[in-house]
Structure 1
Amino acid sequence: MKNIVLIGFMGTGKTSTGRLLASRLGRPFIDTDKRIETDNGISIPDMFTLYGEAYFRKKEKDTIAKVARYTNVVIATGGGAVLAEENVNCLKINGLVITLTASVEVILERTGRRSNRPLLNCDRREQQVIQLLAARDALYKNAADFIIDTTVRSPQQVTEEIIVYLRRGGHLRGRS
């Protein structure tokens, strides 16, 4: 079975939805950001501070290359995974890519709950979100097999919508 890959900007619900979806489908769940932290023994914010974004992106690329080879898993990527075409290509070989989106206001509210987002640790968070979204929007859309706006949907509702999509496309059989 193909992997189900969730991509999208920070705060769109990739991790929450991914956990629920994996549970519903009886599949393992992999959060690439958590895997990077575990494999490297350092948090992503600390990695950014000590070594910079380029170092993190290299670790992200290595991790995505590994997990993309798995089968029958649910993968949630970091928001910037689409910045490297190589990441998207790896994930699409053995996976269905689902892009989660949300409004700027909702992203700001969701990402404001924790301070573990290195790219948003700045005074002008709203401007930063708008700028990053503008730079990444086409990448998210071009990579997607399916797009879901999570602005007014709970992770449970998003999970249901993904399951409906998977059934309609013949990617799921039986109960889930």
Structure 2
Amino acid sequence: MMGTGKSTVGTLLAAETGHELVDLDLEIQRKAGSTIPDIFANKGEAFFREMENAVLREVLQRDRVIVATGGGCVLKAENCKEMAANGWVVSLKADAESIISRVGDDPNRPLLAGGVRERVMRLLDERKGAYDFAHCTVDTTGKSAADVASEILMHYRV
């Protein structure tokens, strides 16, 4: 889910492990030559999700990468299967209030346009169970990014 710390924690994990961090949203923007809000506005969410799927498959073929996906990447069952088959998947979660305070009024989050609180609550409800395929789930509520990264590494090494 957005606002759970994927990019921040991923950066720490990459530094700790020596792996490359690939932020999937940034990779999509690079390939599209456009921002995510522009992709949503000009080509629609369906186009974005197809591009997300293609870029994810490509990135998962690389060695020694940590991939920070967008929270909606799990909406396509094929993506979940690809991630589970090609890596060790961690799901980060947080309570609604933490997510709302972290994402604020970020204009780069087109799914939150029109009311952050209502949209976050709706997305949390719509995505219940969508992240259950992950090998490990870590709640980031009230934890520092460093603590979350340490917890992930502890689970991974076990």
TM-score of the two chains, using structure 2 as the length reference: 0.97
Show the counterpart of 2:147. Answer: 157
SS at match of 1:63: helix
Q: Distance in 1 between matches of 2:47 and 2:152?
A: 33
Q: Render the CA deviation track for 1:56-101: whole Å, top value 9, x for unaligned.
A: 0011011011111122211100010000011111111120110000
1:156 deviates by 0.6
Q: Distance in 1 between matches of 2:95 and 2:127?
A: 14
What runs of 5+ residues in structure 2 fail to find an aligned partner? none
Matched, 1:51 2:43: yes
Q: Render the CA deviation track for 1:118-169: whole Å, top value 9, x for unaligned.
A: 00011x321211111111120112x21110000111111100001111111x
Aligned residues: 158
Matched, 1:79 2:51: no
Show the counterpart of 1:147. Answer: 137
Deviates further, 67-76 or 10-19: 67-76
Contact 2:104–2:116 under 8 Å retained in 1: no
Aligned ranges for residues 81-160 of structure 1 at < 5 Å? 81-112=73-104, 114-122=106-114, 124-141=115-132, 143-160=133-150
What runs of 5+ residues in structure 1 fail to find an aligned partner? 1-8, 169-176
After the TM superposition, which parts of structure 1 deviate over 4 Å for at least 4 consecutive aligned residues? none
Q: Distance in 1 between matches of 2:8 and 2:23?
A: 10
TM-score of the two chains, using structure 1 as the length reference: 0.87
Q: Distance in 1 between matches of 2:72 and 2:86?
A: 20
Task: State the percentage of identical aligned residues.
Answer: 40
Alignment RMSD (CA, Å): 1.0
